[in-house]
């Protein structure tokens, strides 16, 4: 991949651009045995800058998923899944290697900030009947930021490491073949410290509880909708609206998706306590013949430090995103892609995290044929 970034250090007054080349080999492994089904995905990337050699780096992204099928021998209706991931790069991506959306907070950082994230999850699902299902999910997320050693511009923006524990109970009642009613109580605990500081027993910790109810609807493969709304109560702060909407509409050669969310978060790493995160995104994908696809994206993500908790209640970061791209299959194993992304960030109460960035990317992807071992 060849990439041009017109504002490497995310400066509002003196942007500095730079070209980089990225080589990112990736491997996907799948195991499907009698007792377990698992997937392992790993991608390592080397990034070289033409002029800013101090920013050359290696990045890593790895994921593992496992479904313990053997447990069904003892509990027939139990579905137990384990997951974990490790990501280290400049800006944490908004999607996993499997293509699933991951909530990151939306905050942009200059190229002199390195981000690391560890994730782990346990999901236990149980079908009580043909209509009533439940799930219990525990998620652990640890996020760390550090300054890259460089003789170039040094960022003075404060960042905060965090550890989040989230426990969520999901109840679903299938009212019809197309409609399911949902109820989702959850509680999360967020601990934050200034980056580079060790977590200790007296580290600031805040609990957020939320309760949402909603509906899931699907119409064959043309329409899928999930909507949930309820209350979000953050410890020592006011009660707010909790919201999670996801709408997907398909036509013969076009897909449109819009998502809206309001929940507690870690403020993208720039708030010293739990924050309220709000996002609205939309994207469209259209086929242009058998071998070509075009896409567009729009989005806005806002982070507001919980006003009664932070040392500076005015910390607010809003990130606007827009982009377009086209992808073409050159052969059965080689794909070319051209993308443009515009990112604009405005902040108050915190220095050096505002600015505008334009990204141009040219990507060639070669896919090796699948290999399958035989018993």
- pLDDT at res. 107: 86
- pLDDT at res. 3: 95
Q: How far is CA 129 from the centre of its chain?
A: 33
- pLDDT at res. 72: 84
- pLDDT at res. 360: 97
Query: In order along the chain (375 residues), what is the average pLDDT of each group of 10 residues?
Result: 92 89 95 91 95 91 94 89 94 84 81 92 95 96 86 71 96 94 96 89 86 93 93 89 95 94 89 89 93 96 73 75 96 95 88 86 93 70
pLDDT digits (tens, 9 = 90+) for 337-362: 999 999 999 888 777 778 899 999 99
298: left (phi over 0), alpha (psi -120 to 50) or beta: beta
- pLDDT at res. 284: 97
pLDDT digits (tens, 9 = 90+) for 190-234: 999 999 888 887 777 889 999 999 999 998 778 999 999 999 999
- pLDDT at res. 310: 47
Assessment of whether the complete model's pTM goes beyond 0.95: no
């Amino acid at each position: 991949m060849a990439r041009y970034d017109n504002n490497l250090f995310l400066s509002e007054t003196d942007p500095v651009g730079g070209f980089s080349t990225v080589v990112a080999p990736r491997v996907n492994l799948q195991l499907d045995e009698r007792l377990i089904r698992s997937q392992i995905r790993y991608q390592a990337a080397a990034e070289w800058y033409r002029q800013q050699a101090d920013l050359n780096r290696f990045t890593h992204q790895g994921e593992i998923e496992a479904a313990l099928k053997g447990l069904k021998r003892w509990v027939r209706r139990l579905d137990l899944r384990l997951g974990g991931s490790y990501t280290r790069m400049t800006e944490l991506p908004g999607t996993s290697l499997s293509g699933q959306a991951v909530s990151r907070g939306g905050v942009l950082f200059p190229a002199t900030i390195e981000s690391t994230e560890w994730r782990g999850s346990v999901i236990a699902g149980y079908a009580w009947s043909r209509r009533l299902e439940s799930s219990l999910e525990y998620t652990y997320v640890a996020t760390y930021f550090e300054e890259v050693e460089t003789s170039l511009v040094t960022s003075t923006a404060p960042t905060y490491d965090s550890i989040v524990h989230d426990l969520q109970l999901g109840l679903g009642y299938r009212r019809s073949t197309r409609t399911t009613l949902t109820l989702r109580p959850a509680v999360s605990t967020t601990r934050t410290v200034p980056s580079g500081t060790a977590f200790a027993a007296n580290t600031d910790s805040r609990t957020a509880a939320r309760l949402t109810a909603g509906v899931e609807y699907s119409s064959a493969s043309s329409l899928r909708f999930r909507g949930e709304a309820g209350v979000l109560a953050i410890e020592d702060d006011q009660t707010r609206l909790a919201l999670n909407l996801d709408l997907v509409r398909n036509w013969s050669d076009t897909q449109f998706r819009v998502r809206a969310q309001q929940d507690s978060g870690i403020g993208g790493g720039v708030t010293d306590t739990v924050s309220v995160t709000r996002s609205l995104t939309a994207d469209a994908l259209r086929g242009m013949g058998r071998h070509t696809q075009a896409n567009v994206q729009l989005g806005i993500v806002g982070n507001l430090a919980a006003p009664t908790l932070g040392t500076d209640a005015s910390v607010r970061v809003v990130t606007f995103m827009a982009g377009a791209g086209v992808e073409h299959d050159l052969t059965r194993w080689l794909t070319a892609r051209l993308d443009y992304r515009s990112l604009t960030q405005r902040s108050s109460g915190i220095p050096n995290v505002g600015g505008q960035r334009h990204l141009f990317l040219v990507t060639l992807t070669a896919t090796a044929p699948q290999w399958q071992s035989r018993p």
